[in-house]
Amino acid sequence: MTSTPFPSGAISQVSGRTVVLRGNDIDTDRIIPARFLKCVTFDGLGAQVFADDRSEQNGEHPFDRPEHQGAAVLIVNRNFGCGSSREHAPQALLRWGIRGVVGESFAEIFYGNCLALGIPCLQASSKEIEALQTAAEAAPQSSASISLEPAAIKIDGRNWDLSMAADAKNRLLNGQWDATSQLLQQEQALQDTAARLPYMQGFVASR
């Protein structure tokens, strides 16, 4: 895991070492098993990401390999994050250290949950993903750089074009992905609106 600060504000690029996770249809139950959903906060989820898969592979899982510790860019295959809609899955990845994901395709709800955390998910064809994964595995200590505009990734001096939905890209570039921060920045406007609502009388905090 890494101590890299959590995303904030406008996001135009992600840089860091890569970790490759091969396989299609890796679901949210594999990303964070259901028994960890009982947590009161998300704080400890990073240590439990892929807990069952890692246990089965006895230290050989990509997330356990020493060369991948501190990695920030995850490269996956098709339909990553399918299954249940649990927000805990991208939360676990974020707390492990992942700041950007590149794959062939993503489950829609997982994609949206990542966006809400400031984790860009970018796409490429199956052939390009295979080339990306091979390049990343050949140079695990090299730093990769993802840019959103234009959407691309650079690994070990080589560039690949990527794609990303325009709306998601714009929200990240403009810093509008962080709904909580936007609400906090509008505290006075929220208070003023609440004060005008009859059913809120007696509940609006005095200032």
- Give me the tens of pLDDT residue by residue for the chain, a chain 207 residues long: 555 678 889 999 999 999 999 999 999 999 999 999 888 889 899 999 999 999 999 999 999 999 999 999 999 999 999 999 899 999 999 999 999 999 999 999 999 999 999 999 999 999 999 999 999 999 998 999 999 999 999 998 999 999 999 999 999 999 988 766 655 565 676 677 777 888 777 665 554
**Cβ–Cβ under 8 Å, residues 113 and 134:** no
Question: What radius of gyration do the chain's Cα atoms show?
Answer: 19
pTM of the model: 0.86
Superfamily of the domain at 13-175 = Aconitase, domain 4 (3.20.19.10)
What residue spans in the chain does CATH classification 3.20.19.10 cover?
A: 13-175
d(CA 50, CA 43): 16
